[in-house]
Amino acid sequence: MKITVILKDQNGALMILLSVMLLVLLTIISIAASRTANTELKIAGNEYFYQRCFYNAEGAVMETVDFLETTEISIEEPPNWIGSDGNAINDETVFTYWEVDAEAGGATPEGSVINLKDTSYLAVHHGVISGNSLDMSKPSINTISIYGRCKNKGMVMLKVGYQKVDK
């Protein structure tokens, strides 16, 4: 009985207005929280793919280093994934080279065992380190830049400097 009495005067209208305003406020807060949660999920997903690409590219570089450490490589006849300074592969051109000019430059990116589809590596031989002795009886030190790349929902490319002693 009291409810019908409250709703018949002005106090009931004020209570309904406050209830509606409270519901609108809660709706706005819940929509904002939902959008924030969706944004956070996208950020976490992107971070996951970036980390995965980074570690795949790092693995490709480590695979190349392991191959260079355990295998005797002739600088005169290197594998097809090792280019030289004269092949127009350097820090400025490696991105476009990897995509477009891979056949023209004399070195072909090699698929990594880690992920053949998305991960590959390439090396550039820069020659004998400056200041090294020209004495043929002493071993010479060669400098090599190793590039590892992963392209899967984004791209990560790593460059590592490497020195190899000819025995």
Question: What is the predicted pLDDT for the residue at 87?
Answer: 60
- Average pLDDT, whole number, for the chain? 80
Question: What is the predicted pLDDT for the residue at 100?
Answer: 64
153 pLDDT higher than 80: yes
Over range 41-69, report the average pLDDT. Answer: 91
3-state DSSP assignment of residue 83: strand
pLDDT, tens only, 110-131: 778 777 788 888 888 887 777 6
Please work out, in degrees rounded to the nearest 5, the angle formed at the alpha carbon of residue 144 by the alpha carbons of 138 and 149. 160
Question: What is the predicted pLDDT for the residue at 31?
Answer: 97
The DSSP line for 126-154 is EEEPTT----TTSPPEEEEEEEEEEESSS
Decide which of 37 and 87 is more confident: 37
Q: What is the pTM of this model?
A: 0.71
Cα 100 to the center of its chain, rounded Å: 19
Question: What is the predicted pLDDT for the residue at 117?
Answer: 83
